[in-house]
Structure 1
Amino acid sequence: MELALEGITKRFGSLVANDGIDLVVAPGEVHCLLGENGAGKSTLMNVIYGLYRPDAGRILVDGRPLELTGPGDAMAAGIGMVHQHFMLVPVFTVAENVVLGHEPTKGPKGVGLLDLAGARRRVRELSDRYGLAVDPDALIEDLPVGVQQRVEILKALVRDAKVLILDEPTAVLTPQETDELIAIMRQLTAAGTSIVFITHKLREVRAIADRITVIRRGKVVGSADPSAPENELAALMVGRSVSLGVTKAPPKTGEVTVRVRDLVVRDHAGTRVVDGVDLDIARGEVLAVAGVQGNGQTELTEAIVGLQDAVTGSIRLGETELVGLRTREVLDAGVGFVPEDRTHDGLVGTFSIEENLVLDRHRAAPFAKGPALDRTALRANATQLIGDFDVRASGPEVAAGTLSGGNQQKVVLARELSRPLQLFIASQPTRGLDVGSIEFVHRRIVAERDAGTPVLIVSTELDEVLALADRIAVMYRGRVVGVVPADRHENLRDVLGLMMAGVPEAEAVAQAAAYPSEVEAAAADAGDDPVVTT
């Protein structure tokens, strides 16, 4: 089945999310839609799937116009979609989730008894045909993320999808699960299914794509061959040349000044989301925490900063015990913190840039004048930092909430790095940023490390971990599986991927040597440096 878009335009108020987009997806191909976060990729796919109605343009299937009033029409036309955030019922089985909304029935006409046995057979049939390896009787809540994604794919296939849209499908996968997904995609296309693969990860695009279309700021700006160098693809995404690597000298580490011992964090139900973690960080080094989202990394950083309540164990910063301190006291002890959600936790959107830049220092000189703020000092501070951190804004008085994601992150970084620090923590420091902003953020993190500050980075982007880290701690289900030097293993990416799935380090080393990553192999075949930050 051929899917074609002609002049698709979608507006949200004054924002033009899609601007006259033309696109053709041929039968049996993997068509990669490449672009930065916010480029309009997901909006376009939501138009194709009937979740949004376009303001202009049309969709054609095999040359015939297709009118969509909702996802039901898209599914009836053979278009399926696997969303970035899964839409599964955790307490239902695989079979129950797959047929939810169009349940098969049996029995006399009008009785309508649910035919679960038939649903299980259908799941097994499709699972065997495409190598999906899913147990139809397993509960969703008991399945790892990679298998849950297969269930989402099965939901589309059971409705006879001929075009399958995968929206950022590897965002929550380990490298090994990404390889398994690529193998499944190849089997699907071999059977004639077309796949639209939405991503901002250049490495994966080059491993699986038949064709690449690049979107920037809502417009198609070009197409590329999968063999194109990564720097060329990045330049198409951003509109200018960028450096994909992180340049840094070997670390000059000093004494260990951050010691975490037997740290336990419990959630509201009493479950240990951080379970007996021990970590050391020395002056002048970057310790990066790797892991699939949801394995305790967020709670670990929040515990250090005093944002978690049910915390036991010890967190020592020099001679200061941080457990039990309020967040303000932790910050006053010299901890800089970039939270993973800058919009909700890093900034006050309605406050000006100059006010956001002193959120943790407004009570003392030079920014306080008695009970009031010294506006002259605020303006001078903001003017300096806006220049130093290249914040693109019309002035210090602009509300922080009106800035782009990259500029908002620069404001958070400027605030946290503009005072003497004893520990710098950055959680998902480049999430949602364009390649140019990523380049800037990485330079500032390395500069802070080179100034002798202990740095703790949490990132689900393995490329970012590999690029920044001097040592890497891997978390799985709240525990640290292991801590490895960033240059220990020749095939470190695969080793880390296995550890992210809970495999002990020694076993991960052996397995990685036996089964090299498909994505890594694709990069090696193209002669690229495998450590890039995109």
Structure 2
Amino acid sequence: MSILLEMKNIHKVYPNGTAANRGVDLTVHEGEIHALVGENGAGKSTLMKILFGLEAPTSGTIEYKGQAISFDGPRDAIKQGMGMVHQHFMLAPSLTVSENIVLGDEPKKGMLSMFRDRAKEFQQVEHLIKTYGLKVNLQAKVETIPVGQKQRVEILKVLYRGAKLIILDEPTAVLTPQETDELFDSVKALVSQGHTIIFITHKLREVMEISNRITVLRAGKSIATLLTKDTNQEEISRLMVGRDVLFRVEKIPAEPKEVVLSVRNLSSLDDKGALALNGVSFDIRAGEVLGIAGVEGNGQTELVETLTGLRKASSGEARYQNKDLLSTSVAEIRRMKVGHVPEDRQTAGASLTSSIAENLILDYYRHPEFKIGPFLSKKKIKQFAKTMMEIFDVRAQNEEIMAGALSGGNLQKVVVARELSKNPKLLIASQPTRGVDIGAIEFIHREIIKRRDGGAAVMVVSAELSEVMALSDRIAVLYNGEIVALLDNTPDLTEQEIGYYMLGIKKQGQEAAQ
């Protein structure tokens, strides 16, 4: 394959002294899927922002199609046939799918091209959908479509603008396994039609499945470029982290004690008023992890929000340490030593316009350890934040950095650090390692098990079935808002068996539906 892109000795040092890239080299061949991997804060996203004209390099050179290039902004990159799908979608929720795809580049008609040509718009977009198999409802408003379809809209946006080199920044961070498989089919279809893909991800299974070559970054430097067929997950993780990484969760058998959370016949509605949770019952005991498995959209979000006070139940009961949880305010639930890692760290897990330190004490700044008399102690807060950042490996120059400036993985570490630092009696963790690198996943899993062994009751919700199985002592499977199976996580339990329940093919106590 011919060389399409060369980035040589790229350095990026911000005015505050932070060095995001420190001599990175990247060579991408035409027509390949090139994976860019590294821990949170390794410099992956910064490197791609430089390529796409969102950042200017401090030094280094970029050659594209054999020509030296320097972009003043994304428009220059788009003109050269580049497109970038960002980790956090950049869509207008109130506009339709079609309007989002052509936004800012709408086809015109009439004298002086004064009028929008809707017919041409639909014709062009429908041609893209047919060509690349990225099926979406053009008339639907973006706010009403699933996450997987939003991802397709983002890809269609860059294709509409003529992109031949497409950068996908953590494209599967918020996708279900099924949506990830669909995305991979689309990516392979793009490559078969002459496109080149740079694929940024933390998930090594995906790297091995989708890529042709891999470049590993660590601490802002390029460590190695590997042929995917000649390497394995262990070697890649060792290069990423600088040490061997365990791909299993080491834990002793659980010793469950008293019931901490008891849920009976719990039902709740979704945001549209439809029944999302239908008569759910289960117990979680001190010293055990109950995993919630299921394809996303089957009631997991509503279950977590109902138990944490963010959503009203329509019927049923939930008792925490024999106290009624459903009539308790969010603030009171937090004071009752209930930890909550929400699935969406940006909207429900953190204040993006507040500092790391402020986020780490967000809901218990009134605690005496942070005060001198009636006043907050900046010194104590600063020291606490420094300690948490060190323990949880939050990579930022200092604790005063705004949370919104952190990478997705580092922001997740801040949320997890805050929730686990309180040593909760009940921990409800939804997608606890979403968008987090392999080293941090290992650490977070270890910390969750440590809380279990310390006597906490833990509920883990994850779209990654492998994560549910690794952490859980028992597994409840949600399908269509109901618990269709409650299984002991024994060595003979397989992902395939759980998958039958997740897809509604089997229901506990019944034979396969077909």
TM above 0.5: yes
2:178 is aligned, of 169, 176, 179, to 176
Offset at residue 148 of structure 1 (A) = 2.3
**CA deviation vs aligned residue, 1:485-517 (integer Å, no higher than 9, x gap):** 356863449828x94xxx435399xxx999xxx
Offset at residue 193 of structure 1 (A) = 0.6
Kept in 1: contact 2:429–2:461 (CA 8 A): yes
Q: Could you say what secondary structure the match of 1:2 adopts?
A: strand
Change (3 A) 1:317 1:505: farther
Match of 1:412 in 2: 418
2:10 is aligned, of 8, 11, 15, to 8
**CA deviation vs aligned residue, 1:260-285 (integer Å, no higher than 9, x gap):** 23546679x88579645624233243
**CA deviation vs aligned residue, 1:129-174 (integer Å, no higher than 9, x gap):** 2222334444434432222222221221122211011111111211
Q: Percent identity between the aligned chains? A: 42
2: CA distance between counterparts of 1:132 and 1:402? Answer: 36
Kept in 1: contact 2:484–2:507 (CA 8 A): no
2: CA distance between counterparts of 1:106 and 1:406? Answer: 47
1:116 equivalenced with 2:118 (yes/no) = yes
2: CA distance between counterparts of 1:472 and 1:181? Answer: 28
1:504 equivalenced with 2:504 (yes/no) = yes
Match of 2:223 in 1: 221
**CA deviation vs aligned residue, 1:243-276 (integer Å, no higher than 9, x gap):** 1211234544456442223546679x88579645
1:495 is aligned, of 484, 490, 499, to 499
1: CA distance between counterparts of 2:48 and 2:334? Answer: 42
Match of 1:46 in 2: 49
2: CA distance between counterparts of 1:89 and 1:330? Answer: 34
Offset at residue 62 of structure 1 (A) = 1.0
2: CA distance between counterparts of 1:310 and 1:119? Answer: 44
Unaligned runs of 5+ in 1: 515-534
2:79 is aligned, of 43, 51, 76, to 76
Match of 1:246 in 2: 249
Q: Could you say what secondary structure the match of 1:195 adopts?
A: strand
Match of 2:239 in 1: 236
Kept in 1: contact 2:355–2:402 (CA 8 A): no
Q: Could you say what secondary structure the match of 1:90 adopts?
A: coil
What amino acid maps onto 1:495 in structure 2? G
1:98 equivalenced with 2:140 (yes/no) = no
Match of 2:407 in 1: none
1: CA distance between counterparts of 2:44 and 2:373? Answer: 48
1: CA distance between counterparts of 2:513 and 2:52? Answer: 41
Give TM-score, length-normalised by structure 1: 0.76
Change (3 A) 1:504 1:125: same
**CA deviation vs aligned residue, 1:203-256 (integer Å, no higher than 9, x gap):** 000001100001112111112232422121111111111212112345444564
Change (3 A) 1:437 1:81: closer
2: CA distance between counterparts of 1:48 and 1:24? Answer: 12
2: CA distance between counterparts of 1:214 and 1:430? Answer: 20
1:32 is aligned, of 28, 32, 35, to 35
Offset at residue 93 of structure 1 (A) = 3.3
What amino acid maps onto 2:132 in structure 1? Y
1: CA distance between counterparts of 2:453 and 2:46? Answer: 41
1: CA distance between counterparts of 2:149 and 2:363? Answer: 45
What amino acid maps onto 1:415 in structure 2? S
What amino acid maps onto 1:247 in structure 2? E
1: CA distance between counterparts of 2:135 and 2:358? Answer: 51
Offset at residue 431 of structure 1 (A) = 4.8
2:472 is aligned, of 469, 472, 487, to 469
Offset at residue 335 of structure 1 (A) = 3.6
Deviates most, 269-278 or 24-33: 269-278
Give TM-score, length-normalised by structure 2: 0.78
1: CA distance between counterparts of 2:237 and 2:29? Answer: 25
Match of 1:145 in 2: 147
1: CA distance between counterparts of 2:18 and 2:337? Answer: 41
